[in-house]
Structure 1
Amino acid sequence: MKVPKPLVILKETILAGESKTLNMEIAKLHTMTKLKIPVIIERSKLEGPTILFTACLHGDEINGTEIVRQLIIQDINKPKRGTIICIPIVNIFGFINKTREFPDGRDLNRVFPGSKTGSLASRFAFNLVTEILPHVDYAIDFHAGGASRFNAPQVRIVPDNLELKQLSDVFNAPFTLFSRNIAGSFRNSCDRLGVKMLLFEGGKSLDLDNEITHEAVEGTKRVLSHFDMLNHELLSGSNVSSTYYIEKSNWLRAKYSGMFHGLVKIGSFVKKGEFLATISDPYGKVEHNVKAPHAGYLINVNDAPFVYEGDAIYHISDNPKPKT
């Protein structure tokens, strides 16, 4: 039996069969307090791929952190073969302050691959790209909707990538969206370095949702089982419905400002003209109906109690294609 080579990350050596938690230290708070980002590494004695699980690139998307935490407490991150790296909180600054951005006001997910001498967010991105990604074969990055918008559980992949499509089929989230990489995003840097990434979206910021967490954990287990990395006692026997492929979707925006009363459940299929919500004034004099502009699945809904004219309130798929 061939023994896997030692893994050297952040100047620390992790041997086959070892478990280690490393601390990625990039900067200090203005109080001079050090902030350490735990990098949790589990290695099998058997050769296999290295998979990275990350969450909380946006500091207020805490449901992703809960997903990775569940992978750890259920021992799902202890591989039968290969290596699993977990970073439950990437943007520790935002997590502490319950904000999306870094302290320098930048969106971490728009500054990759970063720079050694750039802004605080850029320096952090640079360290993640240079210290962690060179060792990774596959990654799943867990996100949630922002600004009170709730995402149905979904995986996002680039179009025309057969391996990623096959991997998303294995994950089998309720929805699979084809979306191109955004310049400066973590996903784009992974793609450029040959790391195959699935981006999971589910739930909303500053919120924990058990159904979203369950979908993500079960999908992750299916991916690990696909690579023969999941211990058999952790296999799930639950039946899942087929994913729906979404190549195009549209935002429905509020035509009026007022109190928002959503009436249709996230993930539902709606018909053209179906009654979705009302927007009313607070005085009981005016109430506007919101109807679906076309048929499709609701893959994102606004959970805010009030909206302004022009706010995005529903993200509706266009011509979803069932899995074949």
Structure 2
Amino acid sequence: MARRAPFVLADVSVPAGTQKSVKIPAVRLYTDTPMDLHVEVFHGTKDGPVLLICAAVHGDELNGIDICRRLIKKLNPKRLEGTVMIVPIVNVFGFIHQTRYLPDRRDLNRCFPGSERGALGSRLAWLVYTELMTKATHIIDLHTGAIHRTNLPQIRCNITDPVALKMAEAFNVPVILHAKEREGTLRAEANALGISVIVYEAGEALRLESRPIKAGLLGVLNVMKELGMVQRRGIRTSFKPLMANNSQWVRNENDGLITNKVKLGSQVHKGDILGYSCSPHGDMEQPIRSPIEGLVIGMSKIPIANEGEALFHIAKFSDEDILEAGDIIDAFIEDYSKRQI
């Protein structure tokens, strides 16, 4: 049998059954310091999918970086079918400055597919698009909540894509959310190429959090098993994810101090009090109520808010599903509190 052909990335040849670190020149800073996109490539001995796993498209989202770091230590190219490209830090500029954005304040995840001769964000997006995304058959994009927001571990994807749905179910975190594509995002452009993508959201920016990292690492390995890339014993969990077709952010109707009455994973019914918006002078206390039946999957972490600021993100579920939600969240917490991965 003929040996599998090497995988070529940025003119670097990776032979079958080997691992290589590939540094793709990105841009130079105004100090003439070069900035590279660091890609860890695992090229298996047998044909199979080409899976791109990337983190820190927003530079301050650190949980995904640690998931990639741990995954790199676990993979063995000699026991791999297909090819894995791991990019722990996509937005190297934001990571250096501990910020979500690029130096020009653009959001990289609104710049895809980008342009070779555009602004900084557009150029970096074009590099990721042409060098990595076009070579992939499947993508896992790792995220957290934005600064001062936290997310319950969840998968966002297009559930009408059967391959993406299978990946989402295999990842196995409490919630799968059918999320509309936003123009300029990595996911939207990958889907336009016919590539199935799932986005993992868990935790908050500028933090390393044990449970979201464990769940993310196991989730990626579960997806690789589902795709036939690794042969490993399935790690069972005692829950199945809930699926939501839509979600809604609840915003503050009054500026003031915010006192929360719910937490991530709380079940809420329409009209339930989520918290109170309170005047710092003690003469006003307005309840913040849930407009829908569902599960709290995201929250602001700042106890002060101006009028109109988003405070609670609620995934909408049916009455039947919401009855199971508490047990699913409890099982998830129990599973990952003690699990060593």
| Shorter-normalised TM range | over 0.9
What RMSD in Å do the two structures reach over aligned CA positions?
A: 2.0
CA contact (8 A) 1:2 1:47 kept: no
In the other structure, the counterpart of 1:260 is 258
- Counterpart check, 1:100 vs 2:105: no
Name the CA distance, whole Å, in 1 between partners of 2:78 and 2:292. Answer: 45
The offset of 1:79, in angstroms, is 5.2
In the other structure, the counterpart of 2:267 is 269
| Secondary structure of the structure 2 residue equivalent to 1:52 | strand
Aligned pair in 2 of structure 1 residues 147, 167: CA closer, same or farther (>3 Å)? same
Amino acid at match of 2:166: Q
In the other structure, the counterpart of 2:119 is 119
CA contact (8 A) 1:44 1:79 kept: yes
In the other structure, the counterpart of 1:243 is 241
Aligned pair in 2 of structure 1 residues 201, 77: CA closer, same or farther (>3 Å)? farther
CA contact (8 A) 1:71 1:77 kept: no
Name the CA distance, whole Å, in 2 between partners of 1:144 and 1:83. Answer: 26
- Counterpart check, 1:48 vs 2:33: no
The offset of 1:294, in angstroms, is 2.7
| Secondary structure of the structure 1 residue equivalent to 2:67 | helix
The total of aligned residue pairs comes to: 321
Residue correspondence of structure 1 range 65-104 to structure 2 within 5 A: 65-75=65-75, 80-104=80-104
* CA deviation vs aligned residue, 1:136-184 (integer Å, no higher than 9, x gap): 1111000111142211111111242222212212222211111222111
Name the CA distance, whole Å, in 1 between partners of 2:260 and 2:79. Answer: 42
- Counterpart check, 1:172 vs 2:165: no
What are the ranges of 5 or more consecutive residues in structure 1 without an aligned counterpart?
A: none
The offset of 1:231, in angstroms, is 4.6
Aligned pair in 2 of structure 1 residues 79, 117: CA closer, same or farther (>3 Å)? farther
* CA deviation vs aligned residue, 1:221-279 (integer Å, no higher than 9, x gap): 111111232353xx453324111111122111112212222232212211233332222
The offset of 1:287, in angstroms, is 3.1
In the other structure, the counterpart of 1:299 is 297
| Secondary structure of the structure 2 residue equivalent to 1:189 | helix
TM-score (norm 2): 0.88
In the other structure, the counterpart of 2:317 is 319
The offset of 1:313, in angstroms, is 0.6
CA contact (8 A) 2:273 2:290 kept: yes
CA contact (8 A) 1:275 1:292 kept: yes
TM-score (norm 1): 0.92
Aligned pair in 2 of structure 1 residues 294, 188: CA closer, same or farther (>3 Å)? closer
What are the ranges of 5 or more consecutive residues in structure 2 without an aligned counterpart?
A: 325-341
The offset of 1:76, in angstroms, is 7.4
CA contact (8 A) 1:58 1:100 kept: yes
Name the CA distance, whole Å, in 2 between partners of 1:23 and 1:75. Answer: 19
The offset of 1:289, in angstroms, is 2.8
The offset of 1:296, in angstroms, is 0.8
Amino acid at match of 1:311: E
Aligned pair in 2 of structure 1 residues 224, 191: CA closer, same or farther (>3 Å)? same
CA contact (8 A) 2:268 2:294 kept: yes
Higher helix share: 2
The offset of 1:110, in angstroms, is 1.0
Point out the more displaced range, 97-106 or 52-61: 97-106
| Secondary structure of the structure 2 residue equivalent to 1:47 | strand
In the other structure, the counterpart of 2:219 is 219
Aligned pair in 2 of structure 1 residues 236, 305: CA closer, same or farther (>3 Å)? farther
| Secondary structure of the structure 1 residue equivalent to 2:182 | coil
* CA deviation vs aligned residue, 1:95-142 (integer Å, no higher than 9, x gap): 001111111221111111111111111111111111112321111000
Aligned pair in 2 of structure 1 residues 158, 78: CA closer, same or farther (>3 Å)? farther
CA contact (8 A) 2:153 2:201 kept: yes
Q: Moved runs in structure 1, 4+ residues, more than 6 A?
A: none
| Secondary structure of the structure 1 residue equivalent to 2:65 | helix
Name the CA distance, whole Å, in 2 between partners of 1:74 and 1:11. Answer: 26
